[in-house]
Structure 1
Amino acid sequence: MIEFELRGEFIPLIQLLKATNLVQTGGEAQIVVTEGQVKYNGSVDYRKRLKVRRGDVVEFGKHTIRIK
């Protein structure tokens, strides 16, 4: 599990995937989101501009990110 310390009100999903080094580029992040490879709070979510906030959980592959 990855614990991500949020410093503002939210972080866009694509930036979160890059910040946690689960993808190399923003383009790669957009692809995995649009292909339905990312779960947001337990459900597949296709929104690239999704605002992730404290308390949310994002899953990608074998990785789980909890937002603090």
Structure 2
Amino acid sequence: MQREITNVPVVRTPIRLGQFLKLANLVQDGVEAKIRIQHGEVQVNGMKETRRGRQLAMNDVVEVNGLACRVSLQQE
């Protein structure tokens, strides 16, 4: 079964992983983002990511707790 991926529009890339988690409502705040990333609960493009400052580009897919969001460009 294929997982549903939600597109999350951003104004520009790159965007840092911690910022994107908040923007996508995958976490409530920066503290939660930091903890989840440090504990290895976040995946980027299917790989565990432990760097909060990881730079995300267009079409990167971020996953937390079975929820997946794709970085997309905000339409003007």
Scaled by the length of structure 1, what TM-score is found?
0.91
- Structure 2 unaligned regions, length at least 5: none
The higher radius of gyration belongs to 2
Higher alpha-carbon deviation: 46-55 or 1-10: 1-10
Superposed CA RMSD in Å reads 0.9
Alignment partner, residue 63 of structure 1: 67
Pairing partner for 1:44 from 41, 48, 54: 48
Identity of aligned residues (%): 34
Does the 8 Å contact 1:23/1:29 carry over to 2?
yes
Which ranges of 4 or more aligned residues in structure 1 deviate by more than 3 Å? none
Task: State the number of aligned residues.
Answer: 68
Aligned pairs for 1:15-26 (under 5 A) are 15-26=19-30
- Structure 1 unaligned regions, length at least 5: none
